[in-house]
Structures are given as C-alpha cells and as structure tokens.
Structure 1
Amino acid sequence: MKQDIVQTIHLQVERIEQLFNSLDPTPFVGRDLDPQAEDFITGWAEELPHKGAFRIKVTVAECPQLEPARTRLQQAVKSYYLSRVEAQRLQLRQLFRNGRWSLLIGVSFLIACHLLSSYLELQFAADSLLGVLAHGLVIAGWVAMWRPIQIFLYDWWPLQRKRKLYQRLAGASVAVEVFHNMHQ
C-alpha cells in the first residue's frame, strides 16, 4: 500500500458545534472534541489501513460560513490530536520508566533467588524438602521477571500504535460541505 493514499472518515452533523465538547469553556479552536465525536473518528481511523493520510469529511445541515468553519475545524482537530500525541508520548515514557525499575528489581531478585538456591543445594543436597525450596526460589526469581518482560515485549505496542494513529489524525485534512436535505 502506498503512503500517498488518503483514507476518508465521514461524519454527518446538524451543526459544526456538535463536534465539540459543550462542557469545555475554551474558544472553538483548541476545544476538546465531543467524546462521542472523538470515539467515532478514532474508531473509524483504527479500522482503516495503518499507512497513508486521513481526510475528515464533515457533512453539515447548516453552516452559514463554510470556509471559516472548515479552517476552525481543521485547527481544532489538529490541536486536539496533537495533545493526544503528547499524552501518549508521556504515557509511553512513564511505562518505560516503570519497566526499567521493574527490570532492575526483577533482575536483583532473580540473582538473589539464584544465589540462595545454589547455597541451599550445596549445603543441603541430601534434604529433598530444601531441594524443592531451592528449585522454588529459582522459579520465584523468574516469576519476578514477568512484569518487566511484559512491559518491554508487549505493553508498549498499543501505546505506540495509538500515538502514531493520533499523529496521522492530527495531520488529517478537513473538508466541510453543506447538505441541506440530510434527513430525507
């Protein structure tokens, strides 16, 4: 699939203002998208191919000034999704910080368990109960490595994927068109 392919996300609303969170007191540009609009746009984008650009096409029943509305909406979408990119970046950074600490703790605990297990095996080789305990310590040490392994192998993927999606949405072009007979 080529990078120059543009995927279109279609929305239909009565008025442009419906796309924004009515509880957000800030001016139109920079306002949060309405949670349902954001869910719709993001959900649709997640279903599209993972390459190429997005175009958000909004069909409205009424819009007295089409070009200013399109410009404001373009800026608002860009601002909103860039803030989401930054939030994902910070969340990913925090996850890796937690992963490094978990790895340090896990490796330290694994080494301690392995050393104690080796000591028990050398000192009490004939005692089967302590032999079981020695093997249990090695298993416990590896279990302690579960969280850092999970972070570095699996947990970061969804955050990175979402960050890239938000970057693509922040760069989306926005088109607004009036359709007078939306309900017919």
Structure 2
Amino acid sequence: MSQPMQHVIQIKLERIEQLFNSLDPTPFVGRDLDPAADDFIEGWADELPREGTFKIALQILEAGDLAKAQSRAHDAVRNYYSARATVQQHKLHRLFRNGRMSLVVGLTFLIACHILSEFLETRFAAETLPSLIAHGLIIAGWVAMWRPLEIFLYDWWPLRRRLNLLKRLASADVTVVSAAPSPIDSERSSAPRRRL
C-alpha cells in the first residue's frame, strides 16, 4: 500500500517569534499565528492537491535552541489550526441548522400559498384579478424556497472544503531548521574574489 503524498509548505523567518501574533499575550502554544503567516500557509495549502498530508518547514535565520523552537512551533501550529477547524465545524453545523429552519418556513409558506391559490382559482375562476393573485402566490411560494435551496445546494460545500483544509493543517508535521549560513559559507562569501 503506497504512502500518501506529503506536500511541503516552506516559510523563511528571521526568528521563530515572527510566526506568532505579536498582539496576542497568551503563551506560545495557545497563541494565534501572525495573520500574514496564517494567510501564507492557508493560501499555499489551498493551491495544493486535496489528497495527501502537509509538512510545514520553518527555516529560521536566528535559531537558538532548535529543539525547543521545534516543540513550540509544532504544538502551536497544530493547536491553532485545530481551534480554527473547531470554529469552522460550528459554522457548518449552524449553516445546516439555519437551512433546516429555512426549509421548514419555506415549505410551510409554499403550501399555504398553494392552498390559497387553489381557493382563489376555484372560487373566482372567471375573474382576472383573483387569477393574477393566485399565480402571484405560487411564484411567491417558490421564491420563499430560494434560501434553503441556496444553503443545501451551494453554501455548505465551501465551508466543508475549508474545514477539510484546516483539519489537514492541524495534523501537519512542523519542522524547524536553521537557515543561518555555516561559518565556512560565511568565510567564502566574505573572502575577496580572485581574478584569474
């Protein structure tokens, strides 16, 4: 059985703190991600195929304790996207609840309009105005069904797609590596170039 494909999202940072929202006073594990970092991660993830898992690779220029940064970033990213997925799940449940209520209201109104239209058609069959009103009631009844149909046909699937994306990000592997140049690379870059 083949392993699922892993898609890598790479982010280069000067310090690990840049990953987090500087205005959020909570500890690292509970802190929100920086909005720019969140937009970058979600935007990149959204463009990748819907199959497979994610790996978020953080390249840090000023890396001190890489093991500590790795643990903090891994827990913080997973907790952040798990919380976002929970909120998205609630939005989806609320949408379906509103859809069911709209469906009940819409069907009730449609049935009432149909009954009243039938009454007008049979009672005032030869008159023009009651006939127009009867036809208008049928149209109004079906217009009332627009909102539940919109919810159950169109509105739910973008929320479901985003929920699946957030769940995949919540289970992503997060790695932290040093992007600082090695001393040998530094010497090579600073050494004067010789001409042949």
Which range, TM-score by smaller chain? over 0.9
1:149 maps to 149
1:54 aligns with 2:50: no
- C-alpha separation between the residues in 2 aligned to 1:56 and 1:20? 15
The whole-number CA distance in structure 2 between the counterparts of 1:80 and 1:3 is 26
Tell me how far apart the structure 1 counterparts of residues 28 and 126 of structure 2 sit (CA, whole Å).
77
In the other structure, the counterpart of 1:66 is 66
Could you list the runs of 5+ residues in structure 1 that have no partner in the other structure? none
Structure 1 residues 135 and 172, CA, compared in 2 at 3 Å: closer, same or farther? same
Percent identical residues: 56
Task: Give distance in 1, aligned partners of 2:125 and 2:19.
Answer: 71
Q: CA deviation at 1:116?
A: 0.5
Aligned residue type for 1:33: L
TM-score (norm 1): 0.95
Return 5+ residue gaps in structure 2 as ranges: 182-188, 190-196
1: CA distance, partners of 2:168 / 2:79: 12
Amino acid across the alignment from 1:71: S
| Larger of the two Rg values belongs to structure | 2
After TM superposition, the runs of 4+ consecutive aligned structure 1 residues lying more than 6 A away are: none
Q: Match of 1:9, SS?
A: strand
SS at the partner of 1:103?
helix
Superposition CA RMSD, Å: 1.3
1 CA distance for matches of 2:94 and 2:9? 32
2:55 match: secondary structure = strand
Letter in 1 for 2:86: E
Taking structure 2 as the reference length, the TM-score comes to: 0.89
**Structure 2: distance between partners of 1:146 and 1:140:** 10
Aligned length: 181
Correspondence 1:16 to 2:32:
no
1:3–1:53 contact (8 Å) kept in structure 2? no
Would you say the 8 A contact 1:15–1:60 is kept in 2? yes
SS at match of 1:32: coil
Aligned match of 1:5: 5
Q: Which amino acid aligns with 1:162?
A: R
- Superimposed CA distance per residue, residues 129-172 of structure 1 (whole angstroms, 9 cap, x where no aligned partner): 22111111001000000000111111111111111100000000
